[in-house]
Amino acid sequence: MVEQIDHWERLLVAANSGDARSYSQFLQEVTPVLRGIIRAKGISLGEACCEDVLQEVLLAIHVKRHTLVPGAPVRPWLYAIARYKTVDAFRARGREITVPIDGFIDVLAAEAGLDPTEASDMAKMIGMLDHRSAMIIRKIGMEGVSIAETGTALKMSEGAVRVALHRALKTLAVLRERHVK
């Protein structure tokens, strides 16, 4: 490992002196190591973002390579750049966390169907209405009975059923707002 560090230092010193081959070899040797560091530190960033961070690190190395003092250890310098660029990526992303689910798509697929809690939620909310309003909501909204048939069943005119339906829906909206908060 010490040999590797000394080798990287020699390559970078030669690169800073204008040796393009040394610089190319340096980048080829440090890139897999940096990729591993970035993936370990930024595992929740996702594969594509880790590659973006790697490109940022390589660009920072290119821009700042002249700041490395000959004889100073290269590895801590590289790790610091990788760490800071990974932190910058987390900051830029904010609190959003992305987890790839491609491998779980078969396991996570839900069967199409009704929400099992929906009926009990509706029944609870409708139960808070007066008896007549609840009957109108159930008949028209849930059973699909027409306004005329609902009026006949409840001994009300169609106009009265429409007005009562409207009022019942308004009351349900108010009740829902109270329970959501």
Query: Over the stretch 58-111, which tens digit does the pLDDT of each residue have?
Result: 899 888 888 887 778 888 888 888 888 888 887 877 666 666 666 666 666 666
pTM: 0.48
Work out the pLDDT band at 165, boundaries 50, 70, 90: very high
State the DSSP string of 19-64.
-HHHHHHHHHHHHHHHHHHHHHHTGGG-HHHHHHHHHHHHHHHHHH
Mean pLDDT over the full length of the chain: 82
Taking residues 12-39, report their average pLDDT.
Answer: 88
Statement: residue 129 has pLDDT above 80: yes
pLDDT at residue 132, as a whole number: 92
Higher per-residue pLDDT: 46 or 29? 29
Higher per-residue pLDDT: 154 or 116? 154
- Degrees to nearest 5, angle at CA 155 with 149 and 156: 80
Domains along the chain with CATH numbers: 2-93 (1.10.1740.10), 118-180 (1.10.10.10)
